[in-house]
Amino acid sequence: MEKFILAIDQGTTGSTALLLDHAMVVRARATVDFPQYFPQPGWVEHDPDEIWASVADATRRALASGAIDPSLIAAIGMTNQRETTLLWERRNGRAVHNAIVWQCRRSASICAELKERGLEEEFRARTGLLLDPYFSGTKLTWLLRQHPGLRAAAEGGELAFGTIDSFLVWRLTGGQNHVTDVSNASRTLLMELSERCWDDTLLHHLDIPHRLLPEIRSNSEIYGMTQGLDWLPDGIPVAGMAGDQQAALFGQACFKPGEAKCTYGTGAFLLENTGQEIVVSRHGLLTTVAWELNNIITYALEGSAFIAGAAVQWLRDGLGIIDSSAEVETLAASVPDNGGVVFVPALTGLGAPHWNSAARGVIHGLTRGTTSAHLARATLEGIALQIVDLVAAMDEDRGYPLRQLKVDGGAAANNLLMQLQTDLLNLPVVRPAMLETTALGAALLAGLAVGFWRNQDEIVANWHKDHDFLPRMAAEQRDRLLQQWRQGLKKV
């Protein structure tokens, strides 16, 4: 009887469940959204129980839509919003605070304090990361400082820390397994990059008890079995995990050094496979674990733009100039150019290669002739131009130019955005047949662990592209847009 892999993609604004067959075809899917909470400017939270409910509901809906018996699930693969930080009680799995989301900037003062102590280079050398509120470690320090009762409980072994992957495995397995995978662990500011272990020196700097931490595991193995759920039977292997961007790199079949992808979701994230080499960036990029398979660790360079699709959501929800995100393409295409308008979408600060957490969005070049269409086009250009900066930094670190860029994520369906991206990069952009490569990567990792797929060669054989975008913008126009962008960056 035909079997399926269940992929759970737990994202920033919703959770998606997909059922994939052996040919890597999605046979059923469902998405359930949940709210974000903004207690004050720059702070972002999620309710962990709402996350959990969205995962359960999405899975139920996917199974029902495909009329698939859950007993036919061969394994579960999971991918998650990275860096989002949770603490829960070991005895009952109850979260003791809202999840602090990766976008949240509340730990900026802790990062500044560590920099003042001269520790940034040590963190960079040990973890491949920068001291920025983006990462989990300083969020956890904030929780322990602000809520004194949590520290006593943590030191007494009563609490468990995790990113979303750890939280979901804990609940899927009935509290039997407190684990994380190496890709998520590499985003915490707590893991030594080359040794794949929690670093006692960094834990000391951040004043975090070791007893809080999960066991670090590979990205493709059986972590535990489902237990005690009313929406899945007991005994299904939970067998693949990766942070969302590493999962997308795997789902894009970027298995060779030099292959790169960019995922356009709430933010935009560019990763390039660097093989077994730890490449230290000189231009503000991050060094991270891509995945661990068969005891071999593959590394990646990463650049993050904190705002991508979220800028379009702001046009919709904040300004009301479009009724749905999909409308931005038609509106932006209704004008031949941006009319001199530049939008730097630094709505929650600037990520790589600038790393300016205090930056705020800038709209530059407004005139009486500016229309909503010009702003829509400038928004798409602003998303694409952030990626141009990331690719330029990667080229400098690597010493040779990128040959092509694979793209995925919801905003990659926007043909105008993808054409602007290929034009501004001046290199080919390849869009896959399956845009949900984050979920695909999680499914593939789980499938490899249980023998559903034999090896990566079988995956490559089943990977298909949808469209090649090729540059067609005149060099003069490209140069003009790049110059406008640089002027806008000076004003953030």
Say whether pLDDT at 171 is over 90.
Answer: yes
The CA distances from residue 231 to 5, 165, 252, 383, in Å, are 16, 19, 30, 39
Confidence of residue 490 (pLDDT cuts 50, 70, 90): confident
Averaged pLDDT, 412-440: 94
54-67 in b/e burial notation, b at 16+ Cβ within 10 A?
A: bbbbbbbbbbeebe
pLDDT for 473: 93
Is the pTM higher than 0.95?
Answer: no
Query: 216 with 200: CB under 8 angstroms?
Result: no
pLDDT in tens, 41-61: 889 999 999 999 999 999 999
pLDDT in tens, 368-389: 999 999 999 999 999 999 999 9
- Does 132 fall in a domain? yes
Say whether pLDDT at 105 is over 80.
Answer: yes
Mean pLDDT across the chain: 93
| C-alpha–C-alpha distance, residues 33 and 251, integer Å | 23
- Does 260 fall in a domain? no
> Which residue, chain included where needed, has tokens 């700097």?
205
Specify the CATH number for the domain of residue 169: 3.30.420.40
pLDDT in tens, 239-250: 999 999 999 999
Say whether pLDDT at 471 is over 90.
Answer: yes
Q: At what angle do helices 244-251 and 437-449 cross, to 10 degrees?
A: 80
Range of the domain at 240: 4-245
48: Cβ contacts below 8 Å, ≥ 6 apart: 86, 88, 95, 98, 99, 167
- Does 409 fall in a domain? no
- Does 171 fall in a domain? yes
Averaged pLDDT, 105-132: 92
- Does 393 fall in a domain? no
Confidence of residue 281 (pLDDT cuts 50, 70, 90): confident
- Does 377 fall in a domain? no
If one counts the domains in the chain, the total is 1
pLDDT in tens, 49-95: 999 999 999 999 999 998 999 999 999 999 999 999 999 999 999 99
Confidence of residue 229 (pLDDT cuts 50, 70, 90): very high
**Residue at 249: amino acid letter:** L
Strands (E) across 84-183 are located at 86-89, 99-100, 159-162, 179-181
- Does 445 fall in a domain? no
> Which residue, chain included where needed, has tokens 């960094």?
202
pLDDT for 200: 95
Say whether pLDDT at 187 is over 90.
Answer: yes
- Does 296 fall in a domain? no
Find the Cα–Cα–Cα–Cα dihedral 62, 68, 72, 77, rounded to 10°. Answer: -10
pLDDT for 339: 92
Strand partners, 293: 296
